[in-house]
Each structure stands twice: as C-alpha cells, then as structure tokens.
Homo-oligomer: A and B are copies of this chain.
Amino acid sequence: MGERQALACLRRLMPPPPPGEVWAGDDAAVVQLPASSGLLLLASDCLVVGLDADLRLTTLADLGWKAMAVNLSDIAAMGGRPLHAVVSVVGLNVQQLEELYSGLLSAASHYSCPVVGGDLSSGREGVVNVAVTGWVDGPPVLRSGARPGDAIWVTGLLGAAAAGLRLLQAQRQEAPAELVLAHARPRAALAEGQVARRSGASAMIDVSDGLAADLEKLAESSGVGFDLDEERLPVAPGATLDEALGGGDDYVLVFTARPDKDMHAAFRATGLAPPYRVGSCTPELSQRTLGGRAFVAPGWEHPL
C-alpha cells in the first residue's frame, strides 16, 4: 500500500474538522485560533537520510535546507506566509547535527521562518522532521477550488530537480549548476503563492511528486479533468519532457484561475517572474490529456 492509500485510511479514523477549517488532505492544515482574525496553517514533513537524500551526492547541509524548503512549499501552496518552525532530528551525531543545522538555519533565515524549538533523539537511521506554522489573513487557496474552464498555471521551470539528480548520479562534472541546485537546494515559492492567492487563484498545490501526479490530486479534489498543452510546458533547459511531467521535487506551484484572469500582469506588477499558462481544466472528471492525447501520469509515490 502506498502513502496516499495509507493517508486515506488514517483520514477515515479522524473526526471531521469544524466549519472553516481544513485538516488532512491539502498541502497544509488550516485552523482557527482563539482571539485571532487570521487563520493558522500547519504542515509537517519528514525526510529520511538515504531515502529522501543520497549523502553521496548532496550534503547534510543540503538536506537541512531541503527539510525546511519542502515544508515552506506547503505553506506557499496555501498562499500563506511562514511563521515558525520546530525541528526533530533522530540518529545524527553532533558534528552531523551542526552540518544539518547550517542548511536548516540558512533556509530559516532566507525565508524568515525561524526555528524556535524541537527535539533530538538517538536512532539507527537519520530522520529529520520539520513542522511549520504559517498565516493567511483570509481564505487560503485549497486544492478543491478549480472549475471546468479554469486556466492552469505553473510558477517556474519543470524537471530541473530531476535532471539535476540524474546528472549527479551520472557523476557528470559539467552538470549545469542551476540543475544541481534545483535538486540540492529547492526554492519554496512563497512570494508566488501569496500573489496567486491575492490575484484570485481558484486552486493550488505544490509540485513535489511531479506536475502530472500533483495536478491529478488537485483535479481529483476539485472534481475536474485537465488538458495540458505540451508546447507551453516550461521544461527546464537540460531536462526531458518526462522529467518535467513526472520528476519530483521541483517545488514550483501549479494553480488554477478563471480564464480571464491576467496572471502575467499580476505577477509582473509585484516584480516576480511571470507564470506559465500550461493548460485548462475540463468538465470530464477522468480526463488527463496532453495536447488532447491521454497520458499516464509518470509521478511517483513513496512505498510504505
């Protein structure tokens, strides 16, 4: 059984959230607080050394950066801004901890999300868990708001992280730095997520498992199908189409908006690189097409 099925199984054991809150099933949980007008976002992601990072290819500092970035990407995908992080680490010695923390704290500083506490434990395997809080002043952008006819946008190049990993694995010395960095030090698209929310995005998710797999989750939550335009996909230079569609770890955002929304202009007005319009949502629930032809999502899922 894969992660997704197991999560669905656990979700059935959990009570339903009160009105106005979102618990499991989106990028981050959305909860109300006493005596507060905004909404708190909560996300938690854990990385396992050897499984989520090959320390022959990248460093523990990279892993620390990535552990923060993947959580911040969940906050970005709700249109939120990050507040604070707590970090638990299992199975690393003090020298390894210091290296991990150099990357963790760089990301914390870069994204203004200080690490405020956590826990350490011994163990036979290295595990880094980060939990983050975030904030939205109004309704966050959920996965479930897309409607047939909505345009589909992505906020950056696709396939770069997968291509970077491929080049590192092949020990290509001349591997382009931007591809290697996309794998080793992924960006969290926080500014992009906030602009998308303010500009009326109808649904949003971050690309962690690959565009096709993550767009599939958004489409399922929203009850729509989708058609992608192959010629408009922003395949990163040096990456393949398969890497762009199915390579994980890109951490760009994919969002939808009514077709008349000028998201180019909205992004440009804030100084951000404009997003790419890559397709449309369709009324046919089961439709997953690329230029009108059916394709099987090459996305991947952690086995449990």
Interchain CB contact (< 8 A) of A46 among B1, B38, B90: B90
- The stretch that binds B, out of A25-33, A153-161, A244-252, is A25-33
Count the copies.
2
Q: Please name all residues of chain B whose beta carbon is closer than 8 Å to the beta carbon of A114 when the two chains form the complex.
A: 14-15, 17, 23
A202 within 8 A of B: no
Docked-complex contact B119 and A46, CB < 8 angstroms:
yes
Given contacts A10-B97, A14-B115, A98-B13, contact A86 B302 (CB under 8 A): no
Count A-side interface residues using an 8 Å CB cutoff.
70
Docked-complex contact A48 and B121, CB < 8 angstroms:
yes
**How far apart sit A33 and B134, CA to CA, in the bound complex (Å)?**
10
Docked-complex contact B48 and A116, CB < 8 angstroms:
no
Chain B residue nearest to A91 (CB atoms) is: B125
Interface string of A71-102 (1 = CB under 8 A from B): 00000000000011011101111100110011
Docked-complex contact A87 and B40, CB < 8 angstroms:
no
Q: Please name all residues of chain B whose beta carbon is closer than 8 Å to the beta carbon of A171 when the two chains form the complex.
A: none
A19 within 8 A of B: no
Interface string of A280-293 (1 = CB under 8 A from B): 00000000000000
**Closest 10 interchain pairs by CB?**
A131-B131, A29-B116, A44-B86, A29-B117, A36-B36, A129-B129, A23-B116, A46-B88, A125-B125, A48-B123
Chain A contacts with B in 47-66, Cβ cutoff 8 A: 47-48, 51-52
Docked-complex contact B24 and A83, CB < 8 angstroms:
no
Q: Please name all residues of chain B whose beta carbon is closer than 8 Å to the beta carbon of A1 when the two chains form the complex.
A: 93-94
**How far apart sit A39 and B195, CA to CA, in the bound complex (Å)?**
28
Docked-complex contact B98 and A9, CB < 8 angstroms:
yes
Given contacts A46-B129, A125-B123, contact A34 B118 (CB under 8 A): no
Q: Please name all residues of chain B whose beta carbon is closer than 8 Å to the beta carbon of A90 when the two chains form the complex.
A: 46, 48, 125, 127
Tell me the smallest distance from the CB of A235 to a CB of chain B, in Å.
29
Q: Please name all residues of chain B whose beta carbon is closer than 8 Å to the beta carbon of A52 when the two chains form the complex.
A: 121
Docked-complex contact B117 and A123, CB < 8 angstroms:
no
**How far apart sit A33 and B23, CA to CA, in the bound complex (Å)?**
20
**How far apart sit A266 and B15, CA to CA, in the bound complex (Å)?**
35
Q: Please name all residues of chain B whose beta carbon is closer than 8 Å to the beta carbon of A121 when the two chains form the complex.
A: 3, 46-48, 51-52, 302, 304
Q: Please name all residues of chain B whose beta carbon is closer than 8 Å to the beta carbon of A226 when the two chains form the complex.
A: none
Chain B residue nearest to A42 (CB atoms) is: B86
A203 within 8 A of B: no
Docked-complex contact A44 and B9, CB < 8 angstroms:
no
Interchain CB contact (< 8 A) of A42 among B33, B51, B133: B133
